Amino acid sequence: MGLFGFGKTSVHISRSIYEEIQRHAKEAYPNECCGVLVGANYGGERKIFESHRAKNVNTDRAHDRYIIDPAEFNLIDRMARTQSMDVMGFYHSHPDHPDKPSETDREWGQTGYSYIIISVKGGKDTTMRSWMIDDEDAPFTEEKIKVLENQ
């Protein structure tokens, strides 16, 4: 069973946000990009209405680690709440690595959030998958990305 007992979850995202996340990953290459996903949960369907680019403040290992500034995260979270939305998750890129969570991703990951990972090969080709942690001690499970054309 997935989060909140709904089975395998899915994350709904507009084509424009999907493409913006891909663009961000390509622009940041060969470093990791990162960002915050804002939206709402409707009957087990996670809907992303906004993506916010965040600065990767990990300057020592930007090529394979990301850290979002807590002050920047708090600002995005407050803005989302004023619009009756929530932080639904995060995205980050894996330059020249698969779009699957690393050990570090699992170590830092928290339950209840979607984690979209973008694999960027050579700064050009991208693939994207979303992951979620259902239980504190569980591994990541993949959630389906549904790209919506009319939003």
pTM: 0.91
Looking at residue 120, which CATH number applies to its domain? 3.40.140.10
In a domain, 2, yes or no: no
Domains in the chain, number? 1
Domain boundaries, position 76: 9-144
In a domain, 77, yes or no: yes
Distance between CA atoms of residues 8 and 2, nearest Å: 5
In a domain, 93, yes or no: yes
Determine which one of 32, 50, 72, 107 is catalytic: 32
Is 136 catalytic? The answer is: no
Encode pLDDT of 70-121 as tens digits. Answer: 999 999 999 999 999 999 999 999 999 999 999 999 999 999 999 999 999 9
